[in-house]
Amino acid sequence: MAYKKTKYSKFAVSMAQMGLARKLKACYCQYMTLLPVVVFNILPSSSPNTMGEIMPEEKKKRVLTPAQMVERSIFGSYRSRLWTPFITAIKTYELIKPGDKIAVCISGGKDSMLLAKLMQMLHRISDFPFELVYLVMDPGYNPANRAMIEHNAQLMDIPVTIFETDIFEITSTVEKYPCYLCARMRRGHLYKKAQDLGCNKIALGHHLNDVIETVLMGMFYSSQIQTMPPKLHSQNFEGMELIRPLYCVKEDDIIAWKNYNHLEFLQCACRFTESSELSADGIGESKRKEVKMLIKALRKDNPLIEDSLFNSVHNVTINTFAGYKIGKEKHSFLENYDKLSEESE
pLDDT at residue 304 in the model = 96
Cβ contacts of 326 within 8 Å, gap of 6 or more: none
Helix (H, G, I), strand (E, B) or coil at 339: helix
| Complete domains list, the chain, with CATH | 66-316 (3.40.50.620)
- The pLDDT of residue 300 is 95
Q: Which of 42-46, 161-165, 257-261, 272-276 has the highest mean pLDDT?
A: 257-261
25: Cβ–Cβ under 8 A, 6 or more apart, which residues?
none
- Tell whether the model's pLDDT for residue 241 goes beyond 50: yes
Task: Give this prediction's pTM.
Answer: 0.77
Least confident of 100-109, 174-183, 216-225, 253-262: 174-183
Amino acid at 205: G
CA–CA gap between residue 134 and residue 161 (Å, rounded): 6
Closest CA to 276 of 289, 263, 260, 261: 289
Which residue has better confidence, 161 or 327? 161
- Alpha helices by DSSP H, listed for the chain, are 9-42, 66-75, 84-92, 110-125, 143-155, 167-171, 178-196, 208-221, 251-260, 287-301, 305-313, 337-344
Please state, in angstroms and as integers, the Cα–Cα distance from residue 244 to each residue in 111, 119, 136, 143, 179, following that order. Answer: 11, 11, 17, 29, 21
Taking only the tens place, the pLDDT of each residue in 265-313 is: 988 666 555 444 433 344 445 788 899 999 999 999 999 999 999 999 9
Contact by Cβ (8 Å): 179, 83:
no
User: Which of 224, 204, 230 minimizes the C-alpha distance to 314?
Assistant: 230
- Residue 60: band (very low, low, confident or very high) from pLDDT cuts 50, 70, 90: low
Instruction: Tell me the per-residue pLDDT of 3-20, one tens digit each, with 9 for 90 and over.
Output: 444 444 554 445 555 565
Confidence of residue 48 (pLDDT cuts 50, 70, 90): very low
> How many other CB atoms are found less than 10 A from the CB of residue 309?
19
- Please classify residue 316 by burial: count the beta carbons closer than 10 Å to its beta carbon, then call 0-12 exposed, 13-18 middle and 19+ buried: exposed
